[in-house]
Amino acid sequence: MYRIISALGGDFIKNKLVEAKYDVVGDIDNQENLFKYLNKKIYNILLLSDSLAGFYSKYGLIKKIKAINKKVKIIVILEEKDEKFEQYLLENGIEDFFNNGKFTLEDIISRLNKYEETKNSQKIFLKSDSKVEEKEENYLVTLNSQNIFAIFGNSGCGKSAFSYLYSKYLGEVSNLKILVIDFDTEKGDINLFFQLPSKPKDVEYELPEDKNSALNYLVDMIDKNVFAEYNFEKCLLTKQEVLNVEVITGNKSLNICLNTLMPMYYEKILEMAKLKFDVIFLDVSSSLFLDSTQFAVCSATDIFFVIEPNMLSIERAKRTLSDICENWNIDKKKIKILVNKYKKYSLEKELIKELLKDYEVISFIPYSEEIEEILNMRNSNIPKSIKEEFEFLSSDMGLIRKIKFMDRLFLK
């Protein structure tokens, strides 16, 4: 049987469903608590009031729910009839909605039973189809997830290269919608890795040359009170060869960094991004003195801290990590150590783990001369050895996993 979340702002329907032996949790009375339940990824059906208290409008709430869990089935109770919103629900694959006061408990139960019957009929059909043969092939399958990764670490260890390569990899092997935001607000250059211009081409007006980046256009739109989803999307840059990945290019002016940019802007930009994307990379400076670094690290669901496999890099990492945990109140469980450029004569893996025993060392990314070809724009293919490490990393992070062919048929 399905597991159900009730977010209707009252407990009458939930209690009745529990009496009818349905597995229901709730009743949730605000958006923030709803998001916490959705993030657990164990619920299949959501009973939702379109007037649930919280930050988002009813349109934004649907977007946010879809961003957190694309597969949850949603039954919406409308506070009042709204044909425009009903059309919006249909366009987003939500066919089950009722006007408040014009439905019964039996209507809800009928919908729940419909879901259960559909699920069972799919399984019966697949089991009885003698033509289906199991293959030994594996497939990468996207899991329900929304993740914000701060890419942080020692200077010169390959943070931006990792942001580029790993986002590119995820875009190739999954249907995740991915955004890379250049939050190195002092000398952002992530666009060079993607071979993109700094200025977004769809913006109709020009800013001064030192503000010629997507981040600065978004800040300008916020100042002009025209920051909306439509204009936000104009500032997203894409590269045809890099699938499912969009980029917000960064500021390169120290003057603007010091005198214009501030966390208020970063927060608005990130909140808008969370409505649209499954995975967000925040590529940041190694400087602890930039407010963009602190904002990104504190806002992330996980912090990928990039180091090199040598004693100097490890000692610097320990000092930096100690500083952010103590001064920014960062939970050590959020920190994932990525050991980049790992070679034959690097420090032994077990020694590195012992030296960094207070943190999780999650990946050893092998050094490859082919990376130089990619970064010098002579090759666009990620080396096989790095792809394999990225596959393990993605599985560990709960982004994708391998399944057998027959198992894939039952992922409905």
SS3 state at 262: coil
Beta bridge partners, 23, equal 3
Q: What domains lie within the chain, and their CATH numbers?
A: 3-128 (3.40.50.2300), 141-409 (3.40.50.300)
- C-alpha dihedral, 402 to 404 to 406 to 412, nearest 10°: -10
- Please state whether beta strands 147-153 and 279-284 pair in parallel, antiparallel, or not at all (unpaired): parallel
- Residue 254: predicted pLDDT: 82
- Quote the pLDDT of residue 118: 52
The pTM is what?
Answer: 0.65
Residue 101 Rama label (left phi>0; alpha psi -120 to 50; beta): left
CB atoms within 10 A of CB 391: 17
> Residue 126: its pLDDT value, please?
39
Across the chain, which has 412 residues, the per-10-residue mean pLDDT values are: 78 81 79 80 80 85 84 87 89 85 79 65 42 42 72 92 93 88 91 90 87 92 89 89 89 86 93 91 94 95 96 96 96 95 92 95 89 70 87 83 47 42
Closest CA to 283 of 156, 150, 194: 150
The first and second tokens of residue 247, run together, are 């980029």
Q: Report helix, strand and coil shares of the chain as percent, to nearest 5.
A: 45, 20, 35
- Looking at residue 225, its pLDDT comes to 92
Tell me the per-residue pLDDT of 91-104, one tens digit each, with 9 for 90 and over: 888 888 888 767 77
Please report the pLDDT score of residue 116 as a whole number: 62
At 153-202, the pLDDT tens digits run 988 899 999 999 999 999 888 878 899 999 999 888 899 989 899 999 88
Residue closest to 2 by CA, chosen among 75, 99, 63:
75
User: Whole-angstrom Cα distance, residue 31 to residue 5?
Assistant: 12
CA distance 192 to 189: 6
Helices (H), ranges, 334-383: 349-355, 369-375
**pLDDT of amino acid 125:** 40
Residues 6+ apart with CB under 8 A from 172: 243, 244, 382
Contact 361, 339 (CB under 8 A): yes
Instruction: Supply the pLDDT for residue 213.
Output: 92
Question: What pLDDT was estimated at residue 122?
Answer: 40
Mean of per-residue pLDDT scores for the chain: 83
What is the model's pLDDT at position 300?
A: 95
Dihedral angle, C-alpha 86, 88, 92, 93, nearest 10 °: 20
Q: How far is CA 330 from CA 82, 180, 185, 202, 323, in A?
A: 44, 22, 21, 38, 9
Query: Beta strands 23-25 and 3-7: pairing type?
Result: parallel
* Residue 268 CB-half CA count within 13 A: 17
pLDDT at 333: 92
CA triple 95-97-99, angle to 5 deg: 150
Query: Which residue, 195, 179, 162, 196, is CA-closest to 244?
Result: 179
The pLDDT score that the predictor gives to residue 140 is 52
Whole-angstrom distance, CA of residue 32 vs CA of residue 35: 5
What is the gyration radius of the CA atoms in the chain, in angstroms?
23
Tell whether omega for the bond before 27 is within 30 degrees of 0, i.e. cis: yes
Q: β-strands 400-404, 138-142: how paired?
A: antiparallel
The whole-angstrom separation of Cα 122 and Cα 118 is 6
At 301 the pLDDT is: 94
Task: Give the single-character DSSP code of 30.
Answer: B
Helix axes 263-276, 58-68, angle to 10 degrees: 70
Q: Which residues contact 308 (CB under 8 A, 6 or more apart)?
A: 154, 157, 158, 339, 340, 341
pLDDT given at position 139: 44
Dihedral angle sign, alpha carbons of residues 337, 66, 190, 260: negative
Tokens 């039952």 correspond to what residue? Answer: 410
- Residue pair 244/168 in contact by the 8 Å Cβ criterion: no
